[in-house]
Amino acid sequence: MRKFLTGLILIPLGVIFIVFAFANRRLVTVTFDPFGGSDPQTGVTLPLFILIISVAIFGVVAGSVATWVGQRRWRYAARQYESDARKAHVELADLRSRYESQEVTRLPELTRRAG
């Protein structure tokens, strides 16, 4: 079922991607020189669909990094809670083992009183 849903989503996206690439295959020149934009040595000429798709990928990566950085305090708090839970678990195991060892030593004493 999962493969079917993946195919149901990825196949139309692939078709849209191919149609988009064919519709936007005209060459454009990209330059980062604001003063001499007409000089072809400072620019890169590439198909328009590559430019658009690469900008979209850059936006997704930049958004992911910004989200990851923005959530650092929550990750820190989660690590702290996890550390506290581990310490409490170890302490509980220690207390249980002490309690069980005291019960074993007190058991003969209790049976003598009862008998």
pLDDT in tens, the chain (115 residues): 888 888 899 899 889 888 988 888 899 888 877 776 566 677 888 999 898 889 989 999 999 999 999 998 898 899 999 999 999 999 999 999 888 887 666 655 555 565 5
Name the residue type at position 31: T
Considering the entire predicted model, what is its pTM? Answer: 0.57
Q: Do 94 and 43 belong together in one domain?
A: no
- Give the number of domains in the chain: 2
Residue 47 makes CB contacts below 8 A (sequence gap 6+) with 21, 24, 25, 26, 27, 28
Q: Do 99 and 54 belong together in one domain?
A: no
Considering only CA atoms, which of 33, 51, 34 is closest in space to residue 42? Answer: 33
Question: Domain of 10?
Answer: 1-70
